[in-house]
Structures are given as C-alpha cells and as structure tokens.
Amino acid sequence: MLTTIWTVTSILLIRAAQCATIVPLTAPSYASQPLLDSFVSFSIEFSSFPDFAGNSTHPNTFSYNLLQNLWDLQGTPPIIRVGGNTQDYYTFDATQQEALVGSVDPSRSPDYPTTISIGPSYFDSYTTWPGFSYVHGLNLGKNGTVGYDTLVATVPLVCQHLAATNRLAYWQLGNEPDLFETSTQGPVRPSWWAEPQYVEEYLNKTRIIRGLVQEHCPEVIEQDRLKYQAPSFAGTANNLDLVTTWNEGIDADSEIALIDSHNYINGATAPGVTLQGTLMNHTSTVISVDKHIDEIRQPAIADSGLPYILGETNSLYNQGAPGLSDSFGAALWGVDFNLYCAASGIRRVHMHQGTNYRYASWQPIDTNLATTATKAPYYGNIAVATFLGNTSASDNVRISELDLDSEPYHSAYAAYINDRLERIALVQMQAYNSTDGGQGGDRPSETFTLQLDGDFSTVQEIEILRLTASGSNAVTDVSFDGYSYSHDLDDGRPSLLPDVPRGEVVQVTSGGEVVVDLPWSSAAVLILKRSS
C-alpha cells in the first residue's frame, strides 16, 4: 500500500511565488477551440491488439475496466486506433486458425514481430469491449500482389466486424509512410518516392477500398462514414512533408476527416535523454508540440477546416526506456504534454500502447518479460480525463495555458466549460527521487498563488485532487485523489486507499487569491465549487 507522502508539517516550501498567476474566470480569446470528444484516446500496436482486447471467449476485462474508467470521466469512450509499425507488416491468410502468427527478428525489432500473418479470427478481438469504436489500420507498406491481396481480403472483414456493428470510427491506410524510405526495420519504398508518388498511391488504394466498401457494406458510403485519419505521418521534418502532401491533393476525394500526425519527444536510446531534462521539462514539451502547431497554422491545413490530432504518441520512441517511460515522472510528463496539446489546438490525442512496451499505460497480459499490471502513466491519463471532464458535444470544453514564469519544471492550465472556468491543473516537475526522503531531508514543495480574475463572489472554495507517488522515479504505488487502479486490488477498477489523503479544500481569499502547495514531482486538479 502507498504510504502518506505529504503532510502539512513535512513540506518544505522552497519557492514562494513572486507574483500571483492570473486565472481568468471567463475563457480568454487565446483559449483553445472546443476539444473533440474522446480527447483521451489510445493507439494500440497492431500485433498487440489481441493481447489487449482478448477475444469473445476470453475477453480482457482488465483492459476494459481501465478504459471504462476513462469513459466515466470524460463522458465518451476512448477511441482505439489499432495500428503502428506492425500494421504495415501483416499479410492475411484466410485458412489460418490463429488470430495472429508473428516472428520476431531482434535485428529489426526486439519488441514486436516484423513477419506477421493474421487470420479471420483476428477481427474477433473487436467484439470484446462493448460501446467502444476503432480505427482499423490497413496495410500500405506491402506492395505488389501480396499487398493487394491483403487489402482486398481485409476490407470486407472490416465491414463485417466493425462497420456493420457501428464499431468503426475511422479508416486508416498505412502507418508513418514518411519513414517508408528510411525505416530501421527496412525501407519499403525507393529513395525517389516523394509526395506526388505517395499521394498517387494513396488515392489509388483508397479508391480500391471504396469499391470494396460499396460491394460489402454500401451503407457506410450512404451514411458518409467512409472517413479516414490521414496521413498518419511520424511527425515533422521527415521524408514526406504534411503540408506539401496536402497541396498535392491527398484529400482530393474529400474522405479525410482528421489530419493525423504522430509525436515522440525523443528516442529511448538517444544520447542525453533523461527524466528531468527530456520528460519532466515543460520547455522540451513546448518545443516538440509547437512543431505541430506550426503545421496547423499553414494555410493548406488551416483552410481545410479539419481537426488536427495526434493519432499516435508517447514519451520515447522505440517503445520507451525502462526507468524513464514507465516512471511516475512519465505520468507527470503525460499530464503536461496532453494539456499543452489541448491548449495549443491539437483536438485529440491517442497514446500508443503495446505488449511489454516500457511507456505503456498498462501491461495487458503476463509474458516472460512483464506481469499484468497498471503502470504509472495510466494515472496521468486519469488526471487528464478528470481535468478535461465531459468533452462530449453537450459541453464546450476549451483549454488555456496559464502564464507562470519561465521555469521549465512547472506548468498550469485552465479548463472552461461553455466559457466559464471550472477547473485548474497544476503540474510540478522538479525531480524528486523516492530515496531522497531516506536521507533525512523533507520533500521540497512549490507554492502556487492564483488570482481569480473576474466576479469570484460565487466561488466558495477549491477542491484539490492530487496525483502523487513516492517520487518521480517510482514505478508503483501511484494514486490519484486517493484512488488506486491496480490490477491486483480490483482488476483495474478504482480502489480507495485508506492511507492517502484526499478531500482537501482551500478557501478563496476575500481578494480572490488561491494558494496551493505542491510537493516536487506531483500534480493536482483544482475544481471550483460555486454557491450557484
């Protein structure tokens, strides 16, 4: 069990605010556009999906419970994108009894199979989570006869198992084609393959898909549900440019619903990557996300009127690094990253998952490398969903970043519902190791002073929901508002811990100030309580 890690007497206030942070009570002009519903969503590696979902005979109820928790918080279920690198490796075998047969080549990737065959039973995994919808990744990487045969064989199964049962959110063709020429798993396109060639191939194959859909599930076309997340690029500054691709006419058939890009802050084995300098660092997050914001502002993208999303993202590419991506510090990074995305114009975020992946929010099954467990990053997902609240169409949720100083180790955000301030998020990212307290020192803390700007007369008090662990390097014993989502306690359902403080409130002063202390390496969601 998690022991109490902060008390009023044990907090050392090391940094008093120089001036109060202004928090407008009415949404400012720079607040984001309304978020899409299901803002907190997931991407699951194609080869891992049967592990995460199970099948109709043995559904993975642990995964379902964790996803249901988020649905309860944000009012709409996370949308599950099934894709990633392995979506461009699979072929289809109609006679294969197994859902997926894969072969791992450690020289190409030690984390997932790079030779994959799926059978019809793969699609049975889509039946296990009632009420959830999916983005099914179709293979673009395979060329020639095998690629064509796989496409022609799998589209009717998407129709049968997803479109016909209202489980299909969007279609997707290919994963990160901007890396097809240089993939570390082996190039699948020649060096001269550029935006015109990609767009031509994309349109040719989506038109084949349209013909198959017309044949097997024509209601999808009749109901205007043949819509794509595209182009699913790895990010900015790769071999294909998103803006150039758009100008080349990738949406000539008006079938793209969401402009989809991917993001990773850095690489798992990149030199100089650290928890404090890379993940628990607001400046690092701003630099990474702002590359996407630059794309959003380009005329070709802005004039399309289409939402821009991150269809795949997480902390460190190559499936994360142990001690970094699976730590509580990564959970804090996830809160800051998602909320900065929300405040900056990215309308939905799919956090990528995979079996045995170091950055995953949960390990879905027991393997020879890991046991079934809820991991620290999941608690960041819970905190984000709690702060954003109900993002369904009934609420108009807009986010703004609050102006702190230039210190890279903290951030703050405001959530507006129908333009009225409802919640504030505070993230303190100064690294504090769980072993530091054993050296006789108190855990340092930062004081945030917030000045409510506007008519605060009805705001009586502020409820504080804390995201805590024993330190930024902790990989277990994490809680949010006193709750654990451990697999061992109640199979991922919220379990109230008896020894973690919760139910904390602070008063608003007569001058409209709110003062909150955050221990290093922690975060909090503040909920305004009004008299009317």
- For the stretch 420-444, pLDDT in tens is 999 999 999 999 998 776 444 689 9
Q: What is the mean pLDDT of residues 22-37?
A: 97
Note the pLDDT of residue 441: 63
Mean pLDDT of the chain: 94
C-alpha span between 194 and 191 (Å, rounded): 8
- Annotated active-site residue in 45, 195, 255, 295: 195
Q: Would you state the structure tokens that stand for residue 355, as one six-digit string?
A: 């079996």
Note the pLDDT of residue 216: 97
Dihedral (CA of 47, 53, 56, 62) sign: positive
Burial of 416 (0-12, 13-18, 19+ CB in 10 A): buried
Model pTM score: 0.95
Residue ranges covered by each domain of the chain: 21-25+402-434+443-530, 40-397
- Annotated active-site residue in 45, 176, 255, 312: 312
**Active-site residue, 312 included:** yes
Q: What is the mean pLDDT of residues 21-42?
A: 97
Q: What is the mean pLDDT of residues 203-220?
A: 98
Tell me which of 181-190, 457-466, 483-492 is least confident.
181-190
Residues 31-57, buried b or exposed e (16+ Cβ, 10 A)? bbebbbbbbbbbbbbbbbbbbbbbbee
For the stretch 378-421, pLDDT in tens is 999 999 999 999 988 667 999 999 999 878 999 999 999 999 99
Note the pLDDT of residue 394: 66
Strands (DSSP E) found in 420-530:
420-428, 443-453, 459-468, 479-480, 483-484, 495-496, 504-507, 513-519, 522-530
**Active-site residue, 195 included:** yes
Tell me which of 327-341, 348-362, 438-452, 485-499 is least confident.
438-452
Q: What is the mean pLDDT of residues 132-138?
A: 98
Q: What is the mean pLDDT of residues 303-328?
A: 98
User: What H or E segment, with its residue span, contains residue 14?
Assistant: strand 11-15
Note the pLDDT of residue 18: 52
pLDDT over 70 percentage in the chain: 95
